[in-house]
A and B are shown apart, each in its own frame.
Chain A
């Protein structure tokens, strides 16, 4: 890495995305400023704010089955959301530049229809579509779908990889003469043929995002994705991840710049560092209600702990490693280890259940004044830990307002972020090449 000072002309540019607040306890719904999670006006507000801030894209997550806890629908966090491609097609009408990323599951969809829907979104948005490819963990979600059942972990990724490859074949299947050519794909998971119904879209291929940090996920991203949506860690952890993933690209004939690494991050701003810390503590307190504290504990312990006092000590009983208490979430595999850590912390600091949960979960990624947050974000990118960030606000729909008004101008002053969009497509915002046509 160069030690010389970057000038604004050559400085590595930060990419920013806005995540609509999701169905987990990062989203604070009890705050008086919190508005609807389903009215179009909320999505419009957040998307327009992101576009005002010259963000690269807007991001929607997906859920195909409501979460359950102790055999009942989980009721403590936001529940319910729109279907993402339909919602983004509507947002295309009220934005002009912003990329529009929809999460669509590769387990419970089929390549022809998914490729057609994303090509349609790309046409309808003038080249701003992105597809966040995810796979589904379990038969629990499958109960809502024709295919039902279960794919084991390995199959999930081979299906996803073949799914994306097949979609790319369809996107490439029209000839340069504007006439669809017959395609035929016969693989392990899909055997399809015919003619694709949508002419090449403005981006050729919509941007492909892969979310997840596992080994299979990294490999899949290195082979096939344009963006990887990862978890945020420390600067050191970020650097290690960044180096690892970028290092995997060469074997697929790709350059390091062909895959953008964007951790999902949260932020809290204040006029002073102390005020920001105070606000951060207050938000964590809102995020971890007494009921949510018990629930967080039950997710680790896999036991009914409803009799415990959230303001009292942690349970003496050990977690049940084979529990089926929690459904629709990523499975926790090292429960005993986490429980031991939490107990140690609680004993050392004299923390109650709720205080322990607040202390151990959901600490915001960037807390400070607009100036220091801008400097830290910039340091992450210049220091080789990220290419940009997917910001996860905690309030719907105003959670991005302060960031756009206060942090974006400082990133721009640092020469690290665009002051105007220079192209019209999401590929252009992200500095991604036009895909080579393989028709």
Chain B
């Protein structure tokens, strides 16, 4: 089955990854710039093995200093506790008032395993299987509180209706979680799951769990093929492919305004070919490239009506045109608080 052609607008995201910055002001300025360009979200990489701050904490620090931009940290699922992952991502969604996402990654290296001393290094296939389980249990924990669980009913003295809190009783290959979550269901229901689906193992995770799949390629035909495959496999897993956004992940270096205008042309071309739903731009030098992108690429795209001029919504799901998920535990008549 071939995928329907991509419609406007283009979804745009940028990576803020760069060399060794530790001052919060740097990240705040970049995120504000991305917000000025009405981008959907920024991503920030994370690795235990390379120098850098905890990405989720950085974007949490950025959250109150911004108002609309989506915030998507990479979160390693190999050496962390799934329960903590779920709590931290839910909390990022609370502090950003519904702008959080997360991008699961795995650590295959022996060097990273030795930093934890808890389990030996393992193969990507095994660790991505575990990452899928982490994504699964995270969604269950986010749903373990129904949206209207807090009742504050003075006559009966009850703060919550405990029938609206649920044990998840998850049994994975390498871990189990009883639940419920300690954090109430986050504003977006589920923060947005972004998976770099370039390689086979994470692609298998993306078709099951991703709201946004990134595909690293510089060839629009390859991107279009990947998008078609992702959508077909998503459907095969019983999910609606209209609820998956596939973004081409491109390395970008802009030294002049001409480069930035050329990028707008490339984005327009890919879009016309129906290759992808949008782009995740991996900037070589975020400070330089993002300024040019916002100054010169964005206005061209806006002029061609390929990019919004303002944010019509407040949450990352709204930017992406993704519905707030129905709670998997909600009792009969559940979903009455869901909006589409």
Q: Mark B163-177, 1 if CB is under 8 A from A, else 0.
A: 001000000001111
Q: A437: CB under 8 A from chain B?
A: no
Interface of B is mostly: mixed
Inter-subunit contact A65/B182 (CB<8 Å): yes
Which residues of A, 83-125, contact B by the 8 Å Cβ criterion?
83, 85-87, 89-94, 108-110, 112-113, 116-117, 119-121, 123-125
Inter-subunit contact A40/B49 (CB<8 Å): no
Inter-subunit contact A75/B88 (CB<8 Å): no
Q: A145: CB under 8 A from chain B?
A: yes
Chain B residues whose CB sits within 8 angstroms of the CB of A194 once the complex forms: 49, 111-112, 114-115
Inter-subunit contact B84/A78 (CB<8 Å): no
Contact of B88 (CB < 8 Å), options: A65, A83, A190: A83
Contact of B182 (CB < 8 Å), options: A64, A145, A292: A64
Which residues of A, 174-212, contact B by the 8 Å Cβ criterion?
180, 190-195, 197-199
Inter-subunit contact B114/A30 (CB<8 Å): no
Known: A113-B116, A197-B48, A292-B157. A83 touches B184 (CB 8 A): no
Chain A residues whose CB sits within 8 angstroms of the CB of B23 once the complex forms: 123
Q: Please report the C-alpha to C-alpha distance between residue A194 and residue B90 in the assembled complex, in whole angstroms.
A: 30
Q: Please report the C-alpha to C-alpha distance between residue A224 and residue B7 in the assembled complex, in whole angstroms.
A: 60
Q: Please report the C-alpha to C-alpha distance between residue A110 and residue B115 in the assembled complex, in whole angstroms.
A: 9
Inter-subunit contact B161/A75 (CB<8 Å): yes
Q: B179: CB under 8 A from chain A?
A: yes
Q: B30: CB under 8 A from chain A?
A: no
**Who on chain A is nearest to B182 by CB?**
A63
Inter-subunit contact B56/A86 (CB<8 Å): yes
Chain A residues whose CB sits within 8 angstroms of the CB of B177 once the complex forms: 143-145
Q: Mark B65-93, 1 if CB is under 8 A from A, else 0.
A: 10000000000000111111001101110
Contact of B180 (CB < 8 Å), options: A73, A82, A191, A198: A73
Chain A residues whose CB sits within 8 angstroms of the CB of B112 once the complex forms: 194
Known: A39-B94, A192-B114. A90 touches B61 (CB 8 A): yes
Q: Please report the C-alpha to C-alpha distance between residue A121 and residue B24 in the assembled complex, in whole angstroms.
A: 10
Inter-subunit contact A120/B114 (CB<8 Å): no
**Who on chain A is nearest to B58 by CB?**
A124
**Who on chain B is nearest to A183 by CB?**
B115
Chain B residues whose CB sits within 8 angstroms of the CB of A112 once the complex forms: 48, 79, 115-116
Q: For the side of the interface on A, what is the size category?
A: 35 or more
Which residues of A, 268-304, contact B by the 8 Å Cβ criterion?
289-292
Q: Please report the C-alpha to C-alpha distance between residue A144 and residue B56 in the assembled complex, in whole angstroms.
A: 21
Contact of A80 (CB < 8 Å), options: B145, B157, B161: B145
Inter-subunit contact A82/B53 (CB<8 Å): no
Inter-subunit contact B91/A86 (CB<8 Å): yes
Q: A81: CB under 8 A from chain B?
A: yes
Least Cβ distance of B172 to chain A in Å?
A: 10
Inter-subunit contact A193/B178 (CB<8 Å): no
Q: Please report the C-alpha to C-alpha distance between residue A339 and residue B58 in the assembled complex, in whole angstroms.
A: 50
Q: Please report the C-alpha to C-alpha distance between residue A289 and residue B154 in the assembled complex, in whole angstroms.
A: 9
Q: Please report the C-alpha to C-alpha distance between residue A63 and residue B91 in the assembled complex, in whole angstroms.
A: 14
Inter-subunit contact B84/A180 (CB<8 Å): no
Known: A121-B57, A144-B178, A197-B52. A86 touches B95 (CB 8 A): yes
Inter-subunit contact B53/A40 (CB<8 Å): no
Chain B residues whose CB sits within 8 angstroms of the CB of A199 once the complex forms: 22, 51
Inter-subunit contact B64/A109 (CB<8 Å): no
Chain A residues whose CB sits within 8 angstroms of the CB of B90 once the complex forms: 82-83
Contact of A81 (CB < 8 Å), options: B49, B150, B182: B182
Inter-subunit contact B158/A117 (CB<8 Å): no
Q: A38: CB under 8 A from chain B?
A: yes
Chain B residues whose CB sits within 8 angstroms of the CB of A378 once the complex forms: none
Inter-subunit contact A89/B61 (CB<8 Å): yes
Contact of B116 (CB < 8 Å), options: A110, A289, A291: A110
**Who on chain A is nearest to B112 by CB?**
A194
Q: A44: CB under 8 A from chain B?
A: yes
**Who on chain B is nearest to A126 by CB?**
B24
Contact of B53 (CB < 8 Å), options: A72, A90, A193, A198: A198
Q: B117: CB under 8 A from chain A?
A: yes
A64, A79, A121, A193: residue with the most chain B Cβ atoms closer than 10 Å: A79
Q: Please report the C-alpha to C-alpha distance between residue A89 and residue B96 in the assembled complex, in whole angstroms.
A: 12
> Nearest 4 CB-CB pairs, A to B?
A291-B157, A90-B95, A89-B60, A143-B178
Taking Cβ atoms with an 8 Å cutoff, the residues of B that contact A are: 22-24, 28, 47-54, 56-58, 60-65, 79-84, 87-88, 90-92, 94-97, 111-112, 114-118, 145, 150, 152, 154, 156-162, 165, 174-180, 182-184
Instruction: Offer 20 A-B interface pairs, CB within 8 angstroms, sorted by A.
Output: A40-B64, A44-B64, A75-B162, A76-B158, A80-B150, A80-B160, A81-B183, A83-B183, A86-B60, A87-B94, A108-B81, A109-B81, A110-B79, A113-B79, A113-B80, A123-B22, A146-B81, A146-B82, A199-B51, A290-B157
Apart from the given pairs A40-B64, A64-B83, A82-B94, 7 other A-B contacts in the complex at a CB distance below 8 Å: A65-B178, A66-B165, A108-B81, A110-B118, A113-B116, A124-B57, A146-B174
